Chain A
Amino acid sequence: MANKLISEIPLPKSIANVFAARNISTAKDALSLTEFELMELLDVGLTEVRSALSQISEIVAPPYQTALSLMEQRFQNEHLGGHFPTGLKGLDSALCGGIPFGVLTELVGPAGIGKTQFCLKLSLLASLPTNYGGLDGRVIYIDVESKFSSRRLLEIGLRSFPEIFQMKEMAQEMAGRVFVLRPSSLSEFTQSLQQIKVSLLQNQVKMLVIDSMAALVSGEHEQGVHRQQTLSWHISFIKSLAEFSRIPVIVTNQVRSQSHDEASQYSFQVQSRDGIVETLTRYDSHLVAALGIHWAHAVTTRLVLEAKSGQRFIKVAKSPISPPLAFPFHITSSGISLISDEGMELMGPEINSIHCQGHNEIINFRMDSLV
C-alpha cells in the first residue's frame, strides 16, 4: 500500500492536481514530508494539507484485526494452527507445536554441531505427506556453503521413515520436492530471492531454508556500516516473504569469537559498577553469533546449538512463546534426535551464550569407539 498512487485516492480535484504537478505521485512521497514542507512545496494552506494527508493516511493504513479473529483465522486456515512439528517432541511442546509459520527461525551454533543436519531433517519432514506429519509441499533450500548432501537426506529419510523411502518411486518423489539453490555471491542470492518471491505461492512451496546467512555476508564485505546496510534489505525482504506466504523460514547463522571491545553493557551499567562485573559478564565461551544485534532483533525464534562438556544441547534462546529451555540431543544416522524431552530451564547469560567445550571430545570419542 505504501506505493499507492495519489491519483487513485479520491482527493478533491484541485489538490490532486497540485500533487501531480509537484511530482508527488505516491503515498510514500507525500507521507515522507512534513506538513510544512508540503505547504511550501504545494503552495496551499494548512487545512487543505491536513485534510489531504488524513485522507491519504486513511487509505494507506492497513485494516485492523482483533487478536481474536487473528487466532480463529489461523486455526481454521492453517495446518496445525500455524506450527510445523520438528519431530523433536520436547522442543515442539515448548514451541507450542513446532516452528511457527510466517516468521524467521534461526539456528546458530559452532561449525559441525549439527545445524545442517537439522535443516536436512526439517526439509525432509516438510516434503512428507500430511499423514506422516509433513506439510506435503515443496521446499526451497538455499545452500550457500555447499553443504547440502542429497545422500544424507535420503539416508535420514530411510532411517526415520523406512515405509516411505523403501519404495523407490516415493523416495524419488519426496527427494524431488526439495529444490536446492546455490548462489555464489550476495547479488546472486538477491536475485534468487526475488525469483522465489514470484514463484512461492504458485508452486506449493511450504518451507524455505537458508544455510547460512552469515556465510553470504562475511564472504562479501568487511565489517562495518556497509555490511549492516546490505543486510538490512535482505532482513526486510525475507521477513516479508515469510509473512505473506505464511511458511516457516529457517535460517542458519555461524559463530565467531567475541572481539575484545564487544558491547555487552549499557553506559549506565558501566558507570554504576566500575568494571568489576564487566569481567564476570563476559561469557567464558567467547563465542557470539556471527551476525550482530540488528539481525538478532529480526529473528523471531532463535535456537542455539552448542556443545558443553561432551554433550550437545539445543537451546531455545529467543522465543515469544517458549521459556528458555535446553534439550540434550545427539546426531545419529536417522538425523537429529533428542536424548530427553524434558527441557532444563536456563537462567541469565546462559540463555544466549554459545558453548563449544568438549565438542571435539564428542568426535574423538566416536572415533575411538569406532576403532
Chain B
Amino acid sequence: MEIWRLPVSASQRGKLISAGYTTLSSLSSISSSDLARELKVSESEALDILKVASHSHSGGSEMSSGNCSIFEGAQNAWDMLHEEESLVHITTSSADLDNILGGGIHCKEVTEIGGVPGIGKTQLGIQIAVNVQIPHDFGGLGGKAIYIDTEGSFMVERALQIAEACIEDMSEYNRFLRKDFQACEIRMQPKDILGNIFYFRICSYTEQIALINYLDKFISEHKDVKVVVVDSVTFHFRQDFDDMALRTRVLSGMALKLMKLAKKFSLAVVLLNQVTTKLSEGSFQLALALGDSWSHTCTNRIVLYWNGNERYAYIDKSPSLRSASAAYSVTPRGIRNSSSSCKRIKMM
C-alpha cells in the first residue's frame, strides 16, 4: 500500500512523500522521534501519522490470516445467499405488490419509490413504518421505524387509522389460523405502534445531511430500528440548489451513507421521490426527479403510476427482481390489493 492512500492531511502527506517515504513498509520500522526530525513536525504529530500508518498496515496484513474470509470484509456468495434467505421482508400489506417485490421491502437494501402527486407515496411510506412493527409471531420484523419528513406530509391521524387496521388484521389472522395457540395473543395497541415511529421533521437540506450523518449514532442507541423512510428525499434538493454539480456530489454522499446504514444495521431504507418531466426522444415523458446520476444510487427503484382506473407499481430497476407490475389500491385501511384484480400480475 502506498503513502498517498493514507488518510492523513494533505500537507502531512506532502511532507512524507518529499522526505522519501512512498510506501507503508518504509514507515513500519521508523521511530516517531526520527520521523518527527525528518519531516520537521512535532513528535505528537509524527506519532499520529505512525498510528494511522500501522492501523492501515495491520488492516492489510489481516488479509492473509483468518480462515473463513480470505479477504477482509468480503463475504462469499454462498453465505450471502443464506443470509438473504434468512432475512424477513417488510410486507406492504398488498399481496400482489409483495409478490413482485419478492416478499416485500428488503432489508439491507435501499429502495426508492416514486410517482406522481396523489398516487400514494406517503401512504406507502406510513404503511411500511407501521408494518415493520408486526411481531415475529406474525411473520414480521418486530422492529421500530424512523420516519424522516421533509415535506410536512406525514399525518398522524392517517398513521393511527393504518395502525388500527393492521392490528385488526392481526387479530383476524389469530382467530382463523391459530385457534390453539393462545400464547400469541396480540398485546399491541395502536398507541404502541405510533410510539415506535420516530418522527424527524427536516426543514432544509443541511438538516437532511446532518440527520443522515447522525442516524448512525441514533440507530446504535435504538438497535431495534428496522426501517428508515425518507419522505421525500427530493424536496429540499429540488429548491435550494444553484450548483448542480454540488447537488450531485452531496446527494451521492448521502446515498452512500444510507446504503452503509442499511448494511451495518441490516435495516431497510425507503426513499420516496418526486416526479419531473424529461425530454427524451423528442417527447416529454415523466421520470423520477434528481437526475440521471441519482438513478444509479438506489438498489431498487419502484415507480407508482396510473394505469386506466388503477394504481400500479412497476419495478423499474432491481438487481434481483424481474421487471413486473402489479395493481394495488389505497383504502381507508391502508395499502391493499386492488379490489378488482384477483390474478392480474403481469410479467413483462
A interface vs B, CB < 8 Å? 1-3, 27-28, 31-32, 34-35, 39-40, 42-47, 53-54, 56-71, 74, 81, 96, 100, 102-103, 232-233, 235-236, 239-240, 242-243, 261-270, 272, 277, 280-281, 292-294, 296-300, 302, 317-321, 323, 347-352
Contacts and interface: CB of A to CB of B under 8 A. Distances in A.
30 contacts: A1-B206, A2-B205, A2-B206, A3-B206, A32-B209, A39-B7, A45-B12, A47-B7, A57-B213, A57-B214, A58-B214, A61-B200, A61-B214, A62-B203, A66-B198, A67-B156, A68-B191, A70-B199, A71-B160, A232-B239, A236-B236, A240-B203, A263-B285, A264-B286, A269-B307, A293-B286, A297-B274, A321-B155, A347-B310, A349-B309
A146 to B, nearest CB: 29
Contacts of A71: 156-157, 160, 194
Contacts of A267: 280, 285, 287
B41 interface: no
B238 A294 contact: yes
Contact of A44 (B9, B287, B305, B330): B9
Interface string B160-177: 110000000000000000
B246 interface: yes
A297 B114 CA distance: 11
Nearest to B48: A45
A68 B118 contact: no
A39 B9 contact: yes
Given A232-B238, A240-B203, A352-B118, A266 B285 contact: yes
A250 to B, nearest CB: 16
Interface of B: 7-12, 48, 52, 116-118, 122-123, 146-147, 151-161, 191, 194-207, 209-211, 213-214, 216-218, 232, 234-236, 238-240, 246, 249-250, 253, 274-278, 280, 283-287, 303, 305-310, 314, 316, 323, 330-332, 348
Given A68-B195, A297-B117, A320-B153, A265 B158 contact: no
A168 B156 CA distance: 42
A133 to B, nearest CB: 19
Given A67-B195, A348-B306, A54 B283 contact: no
A323 to B, nearest CB: 6
B118 A2 contact: no
A277 B308 CA distance: 9
A266 B199 contact: no
Nearest to B247: A32
A148 B211 CA distance: 44
A329 to B, nearest CB: 21
B209 A57 contact: yes
Given A67-B154, A103-B152, A348-B309, 12 more contacts: A1-B204, A1-B207, A2-B205, A61-B207, A62-B201, A64-B200, A233-B239, A267-B280, A296-B117, A318-B118, A347-B310, A349-B309
Minimum-distance CB pairs A-B, first 6 = A348-B309, A46-B7, A318-B118, A57-B213, A2-B206, A60-B210
A300 B214 contact: no
A272 B348 contact: yes
Given A2-B206, A232-B238, A66 B116 contact: no
A280 B240 CA distance: 38
Contact of A64 (B9, B116, B156, B198): B198
Contacts of B310: 347-348
A243 B152 contact: yes
Nearest to B216: A54
A67 B123 CA distance: 15
A306 to B, nearest CB: 16
Given A62-B201, A320-B153, A2 B207 contact: yes
